[in-house]
């Protein structure tokens, strides 16, 4: 009888411990992988005299080392366009490009204590990001000869492939499921891309390299590989 009572007591304590442990983990769990789709508005600043806003789309895969330390692999496809034949240089281009980007991303939540503070809790999802990209240019339409200055022609390549440095800042809105896990995210960001070459617009002129800025929104969906973080993610 005593042995049975001891066994029952121990079993009850074990169940209570498991229940308390499970309860303690609610809010700490997150998926290690995300799949995302997004769109951006691009502006290229190169050798053309005027700029134009153009669209692009992307798909990406994210490995979440923690909820706030992320590694992103992304494929982009879109348009870069600018210039006008009516300008002095006559430079006009339309580039239907593809690009691949790898970025590391650090969110403020990794560095700050945000529990019991609405202010810091709101700040935790701001992030900075940097990495390396590779763009495949495909100039579909271009004008290199000025109609204003006779004989003025700008050289360049139509299909150059170039490395670039992506620098991004943004904010990731996290939507939590019934287990307080971030299952859906909305990423809003601005990205500055410094190209190491000078042919993204199809023109090679001057000493400055090409660069383009992207403003975009990405929707991310958790895929699985659930694990726990050292502190609660949701407050």
Per-residue pLDDT tens, the chain, 235 aa: give them: 455 444 444 444 444 444 334 444 578 999 999 999 999 999 999 999 999 999 999 999 999 999 999 999 999 999 999 999 999 999 999 999 999 999 999 999 999 999 888 899 999 999 999 999 999 999 999 999 998 898 899 999 999 999 999 999 999 999 999 989 999 999 999 999 999 999 999 999 888 999 999 999 999 999 988 999 999 988 7
Cα 186 from Cα 57, distance rounded (Å): 15
Residues 69-106 as b/e (b if ≥16 CB within 10 A, e otherwise) read ebebebebebbbbbbeeebebbbbbbbbbebebebebb
Sign, CA torsion 154/53/198/96: negative
User: What is the residue extent of each domain of the chain?
Assistant: 1-28, 31-224
Q: Which CATH number fits domain 31-224: 2.40.160.20, 3.40.1190.20, 3.30.460.80, 3.40.50.300?
A: 2.40.160.20
Tokens 């809010």, residue located: 27
Is 155 in a helix, a strand, or coil? coil
CA distance linking residue 128 with residue 168, whole number of Å: 6
**Does pTM top 0.75 for this prediction?**
yes
């Amino acid at each position: 009888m005593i042995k049975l009572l001891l066994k029952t007591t121990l079993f009850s304590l074990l169940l209570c411990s498991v229940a308390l442990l499970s309860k303690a983990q609610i809010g700490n769990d997150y998926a290690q992988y995300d799949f995302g789709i997004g769109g951006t508005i691009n502006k290229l600043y190169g050798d053309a005299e005027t700029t134009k806003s153009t669209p692009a789309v992307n798909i990406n895969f994210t490995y979440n080392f923690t909820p706030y330390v992320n590694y992103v692999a992304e494929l982009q496809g879109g348009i870069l366009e600018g210039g006008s034949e009516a300008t002095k240089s006559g430079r006009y281009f339309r580039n239907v490009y593809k690009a691949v980007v790898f970025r590391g991303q650090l969110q403020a939540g990794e560095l700050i204590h945000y529990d019991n503070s609405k202010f810091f809790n709101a700040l935790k999802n701001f992030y900075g990001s940097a990495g390396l990209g590779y763009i495949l240019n495909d100039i579909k339409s271009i004008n290199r000869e000025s109609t204003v200055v006779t004989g003025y022609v700008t050289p360049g390549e139509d299909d150059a492939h170039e490395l670039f440095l992506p620098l991004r800042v943004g904010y990731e809105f996290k939507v939590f499921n019934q287990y307080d896990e971030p299952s859906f995210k909305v990423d809003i960001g601005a990205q500055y891309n410094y190209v190491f070459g000078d042919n993204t617009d199809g023109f090679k002129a001057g000493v400055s390299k090409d660069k383009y800025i992207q403003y975009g929104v990405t929707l991310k969906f958790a895929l699985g590989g659930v694990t726990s973080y050292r502190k609660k993610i949701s407050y």
